[in-house]
Structure 1
Amino acid sequence: MQLSDTEIVSAIRQGHESAFEQMFRTYYERLCQYANSLLKDEDEAEEMVQTVFMSIWEKRSDLEITLSLKAYLYRAVHNHCLNKIKHYQVREAHREYSLSYQSPGYEAVTETIYGSELEERIEEAVNRLPEQCQLVFRMSRFEELKYQEIADRLGLSIKTVENQIGKALRILRSELADYLPSLLWLVLLFF
């Protein structure tokens, strides 16, 4: 029996795996094709779509979809792909900078290792944020949602969203204090 979008969302929110499976079977291939049209990489496209579905399942109890389910899924995949593309662009810009402005050899290798370590430390620091703080921060910085959009999706006040972002930035600043000089260019690019 085919469920409506509203019934699917409601059933998923209640933890019904069959509804989630129906959604997955209905949209997975088309979403992968869409992601691939953006990323031009089938493996990355599949990873983005799987990430979206995993996120939906993990946060199912808070799932609020005001548009159609199809529109929500395509928008989520679109946002994840754009974040991936931005990540590629930042990496490429850093690589080009390193090649253009640094002498080859020891310093370039050291900078590459330091950059990879920095990326790992940032991700680890974000993962250690309190759950709601992390969710709000990721929605703001990685999904590029406005504070009002985040507040609407999560049923929070804008003030709470602002407080959570402020808290996240304070914690990250503290956690990444050793890397602050290197983070300056990252802050200027993203924040």
Structure 2
Amino acid sequence: MTIQHRLSDQELVALLKKGNQDAFTEIYDRYWRIMYGHVYKMLLDEEESKDVIQELFSALWINSDRVPDQLNLSGYLYVMAKNKVLNLIRKNKFQTAYLNSLSGFITEASTATMDQLNERDLAAAIEKEIQGLPPRMKEVFELSRKENLTYKEIAERLGTSEETVKKQMHNSIRSIKHRLKESGGAAVLLLTFLR
């Protein structure tokens, strides 16, 4: 048992203010469990509570020359602990709000970017497959899908039957879908407009 163990809180504070490490150790031993209990009740997190207690006693030691002479030490430590907990909660709320905001921004930006890339890639893949069609099929397909002509209008323009146009459209769509399926199935889901 050290001599500090027998000292009152006021006597320990007086020694602490002079930089006495033994007095600090006695204060720590005397109040660590009590302060931890208070902090844990507020945070309900063992690790964060230990961190707060560590900060509390570090601040007490670093600022020992500023500790008031006549004080209720347990009350003083409790107020310090409560303030540190409130600061931690504010900081965590701010960080959570910031991270949520940032996460939302990233999600929106990346979703929009991915949509643009997917649309561009899909359009390029479809165009590549259209260009790979036999010339007559390609012509029928482009008249139907790019110029929005009916099968009857295409047949009149090309001097062929409506049934032939219909057959060529069917074959070109089937060919494009098949090639896109082979190159990367996701694009096929977006090709429903080709029906």
> Taking structure 1 as the reference length, what is the TM-score of the superposition?
0.51
Residue 52 in 1 paired to residue 73 in 2? no
Residue 43 in 1 paired to residue 47 in 2? yes
Residue 74 in 1 paired to residue 78 in 2? yes
Residue matched to 2:173: none
For the residue of structure 2 that corresponds to 1:105, the secondary structure is helix
Amino acid at match of 1:73: L
Deviation at 1:91, TM superposition (A): 1.2
Q: Percent identity?
A: 24
For the residue of structure 1 that corresponds to 2:52, the secondary structure is helix
Instruction: Say whether the 8 Å CA contact 1:5–1:69 is kept in structure 2.
Output: yes
For the residue of structure 2 that corresponds to 1:73, the secondary structure is helix
Instruction: Say whether the 8 Å CA contact 2:10–2:70 is kept in structure 1.
Output: no
Instruction: Say whether the 8 Å CA contact 2:10–2:71 is kept in structure 1.
Output: no
Q: Which has the larger radius of gyration?
A: 2
Structure 2 residue runs without a partner (length 5+): 113-195
CA distance in 1: counterparts of 2:38 and 2:99, whole angstroms: 28
Residue 105 in 1 paired to residue 114 in 2? no
When residues 66 and 79 of structure 1 are mapped into structure 2, their CA distance, relative to the original with a 3 A threshold, is farther
Instruction: Say whether the 8 Å CA contact 1:13–1:62 is kept in structure 2.
Output: yes
When residues 66 and 89 of structure 1 are mapped into structure 2, their CA distance, relative to the original with a 3 A threshold, is farther
Instruction: Say whether the 8 Å CA contact 1:48–1:81 is kept in structure 2.
Output: yes
Residue matched to 2:13: 9
When residues 2 and 94 of structure 1 are mapped into structure 2, their CA distance, relative to the original with a 3 A threshold, is same
Instruction: Say whether the 8 Å CA contact 2:12–2:24 is kept in structure 1.
Output: yes
CA distance in 2: counterparts of 1:104 and 1:21, whole angstroms: 53
Deviation at 1:81, TM superposition (A): 0.7
Deviation at 1:55, TM superposition (A): 1.1
For the residue of structure 1 that corresponds to 2:42, the secondary structure is helix
Count residues with an aligned counterpart.
Answer: 107
Instruction: Say whether the 8 Å CA contact 1:32–1:42 is kept in structure 2.
Output: no
The equivalences for 1:81-120 within 5 A come to 81-100=85-104, 103-105=108-110
Residue 32 in 1 paired to residue 32 in 2? no
RMSD of aligned alpha carbons:
2.2
Of 62, 68, 79 in structure 1, the residue corresponding to residue 66 of structure 2 is 62
Greater RCO, CA 8 A, separation 6+: 1
